[in-house]
């Protein structure tokens, strides 16, 4: 039993802690760099033995266990029977797990009952009382052990994403990452709030000699998406121990978490000598400072839950025939991105990657409801567990009124080519569907049977009125074979006997998106949509962003809407476990000696054949001649896109290793593809979000930084 003097001292300390201004220093002096162990039973109860987080609870009688490497490292407490790491036990002899066990054992009157219990006999009532405190320690250790086991299991299921260091990339080039608030579809995108430089957090202290996990306060020096450059409090202008950290990982906490969780706050050893009273130092520094919301970790967890589940059925664009949709099954969900396998795929390799908010996927029955072409599945028997995805899970499209002046077949407009997202082309409305949807064809490159028409909604930010490119100084790609250059819309409309679609029918809303020229982000390569790459915003025209993939030529750039679900902040891949493709190096982009440099785009269509980026540079510079856009008609004049097995993945996110050889060495391979125009080995992706914007703007005001 504790003596009255010890109990009074303990009560006094508890009351003193409660008087702390912040209530966050309660656990501060529970651990320090100079703490040591003693075998004396008179040691202060303030000393808390170090207990490893991974301490397993093993019930056995007095046996010494070994580490996996064979060294004797486990011990059993002679008082309570708790098994743990020997170095973490109390006293020099390592016979007890805590001060209380040491004191209790020193009482000769209790030795008999203790020995009886260790021998497997029922303990006395007094013995049960004596093991109360060790039992709580065991329960706490076991809870921590379970948490660590779950974290280890989670980390094993995640794809390793440490191949690219965003922190070094940002710091060495003095780059700026797009804020998380620019991406409404990502975790915390709608509740990022006022997280900014200067905020304080509690993180693990890596600058210590202690064997246990301890924490310290750090301030945000620089923000880049989800990632923050942190500096331990007390280092002032010394950046030698700065480190980058994803703010949404479980190891980052708001100030005060250590106190509420009874975790030790220990200053870094490099500055331990600077102050004698660290508690007063923290009170002074943290007065008036901002920190993360108390429920930040809870919100992150909630935002990481996704409604789509495996084996849900959806309608998705047919990558072999853009003009129709097919039924596909959700095979995998990572960070809101879906790996869809077409229902008729026998081996599961005929797949397609897109975000759950992509305008390319719809609920079952969507095609029939609007009059869109649909390939009926030949699969008659459903797999067990299949279900149609609820309609409320899909992107909501703005309602439009088609009763008055509306789009008509044959009207001309400008549109982003889904087979070459770096180009905005002359296009035609080929068919008007229900609910505001349109079938669009690229002039001069259409298949005779219309199999390469693609569906855009009338509010889509990837279609534009006639004259949009000229007004905003964007190169407009004229129809293939059109000889009257430079292209003039007035002359072309007169020659074709066509009219331009009215300007008022287009989406002119420009949200206050927050993007700026030069900002870094992680972006999907929409010509190979399973890849997420390091990218840069190089141009902004209203709500339209020009995305450049770092390390690659400008001809691989893509026009993407500011609200596209295929754009992500820095650190998104690390947070979700998706593999990030790093920038290509100069040597990786060098073409083989027999391959000539590809000409700059004029009226040519590069199409999908120029894509893409696996691994860090297996992509050719060119094919030594003009390339033409993909056709589905089998017309031998039109070269199909040249790459195979881009969608024959194994079901995992792409890895950074060399997965496929993208080298194009001869024209024979092109001829082979020409003879098999119906192959499914190419992709289409619209790549633009149809989400309703929250601002307004005009197409006729140039808005370029």
pLDDT digits (tens, 9 = 90+) for 681-703: 323 333 333 333 333 343 433 33
Q: Are residues 299 and 371 in the same domain?
A: no
pLDDT digits (tens, 9 = 90+) for 473-485: 999 999 999 999 9
Indicate the helix (H) or strand (E) that contains 426. Answer: strand 420-432
Q: What is the average pLDDT value for the chain, to the nearest integer?
A: 74
Q: Are residues 293 and 321 in the same domain?
A: no
Give yes or no for residue 254 having a pLDDT over 90: yes
Q: Are residues 297 and 383 in the same domain?
A: no
pLDDT number for residue 700: 37
SS3 16: helix
Contact 663, 620 (CB under 8 A): yes
Total domains in the chain come to 3
Contact 144, 84 (CB under 8 A): no
Q: Are residues 535 and 576 in the same domain?
A: yes
Query: Residue 391: inside a domain, yes or no?
Result: yes
Task: Give the C-alpha separation, 370 to 385, whole Å.
Answer: 28
pLDDT number for residue 207: 94
pTM of the model: 0.67
> In sequence order, what DSSP letters do the residues of 435-489 get, joined into one string?
GGEEEEEETT---TT-TT-EEEETT-TTEE-TTHHHHTT--EEPPTT--SSS--H
Query: What is the separation of C-alpha 481 from the centre of its chain, rounded to a whole number of angstroms?
Result: 43
Task: Give the C-alpha separation, 14 to 501, whole Å.
Answer: 76
Q: Are residues 285 and 358 in the same domain?
A: no
Query: Residue 236: inside a domain, yes or no?
Result: yes
Query: Residue 625: inside a domain, yes or no?
Result: no
Q: Are residues 269 and 360 in the same domain?
A: no
Q: Are residues 210 and 291 in the same domain?
A: yes
Helices (H), 209-277: 257-261
The token duo for 373 is 């072409």
Contact 58, 97 (CB under 8 A): no
Query: Residue 654: inside a domain, yes or no?
Result: no
The token duo for 415 is 């549109």
The token duo for 557 is 């750039």
Q: Are residues 297 and 203 in the same domain?
A: yes
Range of the domain at 351: 313-396
For residue 248, give the CATH number of its domain: 2.30.30.140
Query: Residue 169: inside a domain, yes or no?
Result: no
Residue 367, φ and ψ in degrees, nearest 5: -60, -45
pLDDT number for residue 446: 87
Query: Residue 513: inside a domain, yes or no?
Result: no
What size, in residues, is the chain? 705
Contact 559, 460 (CB under 8 A): no
Q: Are residues 246 and 292 in the same domain?
A: yes
Boundary of a domain, candidates 541, 559, 581: 581
Q: Are residues 291 and 192 in the same domain?
A: yes
What share of the chain has pLDDT > 70, as a percent?
Answer: 61
Per-residue confidence band for 549, with pLDDT thresholds at 50, 70 and 90: very high
Give yes or no for residue 16 having a pLDDT over 80: no
Boundary of a domain, candidates 271, 303, 335: 303
Strand-pairing partners, residue 85, are 74
pLDDT number for residue 344: 86
Give yes or no for residue 301 having a pLDDT over 80: yes
The token duo for 9 is 């001292």
Query: Residue 4: inside a domain, yes or no?
Result: no
Q: Are residues 298 and 320 in the same domain?
A: no
Task: Give the C-alpha separation, 623 to 184, whole Å.
Answer: 40
Among 304-318, 372-386, 630-644, 661-675, name the most confident range: 304-318
Query: Residue 406: inside a domain, yes or no?
Result: no
Task: Give the C-alpha separation, 356 to 346, whole Å.
Answer: 24
The token duo for 503 is 């300007």
pLDDT number for residue 390: 95
Task: Give the C-alpha separation, 612 to 630, whole Å.
Answer: 16
Boundary of a domain, candidates 376, 396, 416: 396
Residue of 375, 334, 371 lying closest to 355 (CA atoms): 334
Give yes or no for residue 304 having a pLDDT over 60: yes
Per-residue confidence band for 243, with pLDDT thresholds at 50, 70 and 90: very high
Indicate the helix (H) or strand (E) that contains 128. Answer: helix 125-130
Task: Give the C-alpha separation, 85 to 54, whole Å.
Answer: 9
Residue of 398, 401, 200, 159 lying closest to 296 (CA atoms): 200
Task: Please enumerate in sequence order all residues whose Cβ is within 8 A of that of 523, keeping only pairs 6 or more positions apart, or say none.
Answer: 532, 533, 535, 547, 549, 558, 560, 566, 567, 568
Give yes or no for residue 144 having a pLDDT over 50: yes
Going from the C-alpha of 267 to that of each of 276, 287, 488, 621, the distances in angstroms are 11, 18, 69, 53
Give me the sign of the Cα torsion angle 507, 510, 515, 517: positive
Q: Are residues 200 and 289 in the same domain?
A: yes
């Amino acid at each position: 039993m504790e003596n009255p003097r010890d109990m009074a001292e303990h009560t006094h300390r508890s009351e003193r802690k409660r008087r702390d201004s912040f209530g966050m220093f309660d656990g501060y002096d529970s651990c320090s760099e100079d703490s040591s162990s003693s075998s004396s039973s008179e040691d202060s109860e303030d000393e808390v033995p170090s207990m490893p987080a991974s301490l397993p609870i093993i019930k056995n009688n007095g046996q010494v266990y070994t580490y996996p490497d064979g060294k004797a490292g486990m011990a059993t407490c002679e008082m309570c029977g708790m098994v743990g790491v020997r170095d973490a036990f109390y006293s020099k002899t390592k016979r007890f797990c805590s001060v209380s066990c040491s004191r209790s054992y020193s009482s000769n009157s209790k030795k008999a009952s203790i020995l009886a219990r260790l021998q497997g006999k029922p303990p006395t009532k007094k013995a049960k009382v004596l093991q109360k405190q060790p039992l709580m320690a065991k329960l706490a250790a076991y809870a921590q052990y379970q948490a660590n086991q779950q974290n280890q299991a989670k980390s094993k299921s995640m794809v390793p994403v440490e191949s690219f260091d965003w922190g070094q990339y940002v710091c060495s080039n003095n780059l700026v990452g797009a804020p998380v608030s620019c991406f409404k579809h990502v975790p915390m995108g709608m509740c990022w709030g006022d997280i900014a430089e200067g905020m304080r957090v509690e993180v693990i202290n890596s600058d210590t000699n202690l064997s246990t996990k301890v924490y310290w306060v750090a301030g945000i020096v620089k923000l880049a998406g989800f990632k923050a450059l942190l500096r331990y409090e007390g280092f002032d202008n010394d950046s030698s121990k700065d480190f980058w950290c994803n703010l949404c990982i479980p190891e980052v906490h708001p100030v005060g978490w250590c106190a509420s969780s009874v975790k030790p706050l220990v200053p870094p050893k490099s500055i331990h000598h600077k102050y004698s009273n660290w508690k007063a130092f923290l009170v002074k520094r943290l007065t008036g400072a901002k920190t993360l919301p108390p429920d930040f970790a809870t919100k992150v967890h909630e935002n990481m839950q996704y409604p789509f589940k495996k084996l849900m059925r959806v309608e998705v664009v047919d990558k072999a025939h853009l003009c129709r949709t097919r039924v596909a099954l959700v095979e995998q969900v990572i960070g809101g991105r879906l790996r869809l396998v077409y229902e008729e795929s026998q081996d599961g390799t005929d797949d397609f990657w897109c975000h759950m908010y992509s305008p390319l996927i719809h609920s079952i029955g969507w095609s029939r409801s609007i009059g869109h072409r649909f390939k009926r599945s030949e699969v008659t028997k459903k797999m067990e567990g299949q279900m149609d995805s609820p309609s409320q899970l899909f992107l909501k499209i703005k309602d439009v009124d088609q009763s008055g002046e509306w789009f008509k077949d044959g009207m001309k407009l400008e549109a982003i080519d889904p087979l070459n997202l770096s180009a905005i082309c002359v296009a035609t409305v080929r068919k008007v569907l229900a609910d505001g949807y349109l079938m669009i064809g690229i002039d001069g490159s259409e298949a005779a049977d219309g199999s390469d028409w693609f569906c855009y909604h009338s509010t889509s930010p990837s279609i534009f009125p006639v004259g949009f490119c000229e007004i905003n100084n964007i190169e407009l790609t004229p129809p293939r074979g059109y000889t009257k250059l430079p292209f003039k819309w007035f002359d072309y409309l007169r020659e074709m006997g066509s009219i331009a679609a009215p300007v008022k029918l287009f989406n002119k809303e420009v949200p206050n998106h927050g993007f700026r020229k030069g900002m870094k982000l992680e972006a999907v390569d929409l010509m190979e949509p399973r890849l997420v790459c390091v990218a840069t915003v190089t141009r902004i025209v209203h709500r339209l962003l020009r995305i450049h993939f770092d390390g690659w030529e400008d001809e691989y750039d893509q026009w993407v809407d500011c609200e596209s679900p295929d754009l992500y902040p820095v650190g998104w891949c690390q947070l979700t476990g998706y593999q990030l493709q790093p920038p290509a190096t100069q040597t990786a982009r060098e073409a083989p000696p027999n391959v000539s440099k590809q000409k700059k785009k004029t009226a040519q269509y590069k199409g999908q054949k120029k894509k893409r980026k696996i691994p860090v540079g297996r992509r050719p510079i060119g094919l030594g001649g003009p390339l033409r856009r993909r056709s589905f008609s089998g017309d031998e004049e039109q070269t199909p896109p040249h790459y195979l097995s881009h969608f024959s993945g194994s079901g995992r996110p792409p890895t950074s290793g060399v997965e496929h050889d993208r080298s194009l060495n001869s024209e024979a391979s092109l001829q082979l593809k020409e003879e098999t125009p119906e192959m499914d080995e190419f992709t289409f992706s619209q790549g633009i979000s149809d989400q309703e914007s929250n601002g307004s703007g005009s197409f006729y005001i140039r808005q370029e930084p």
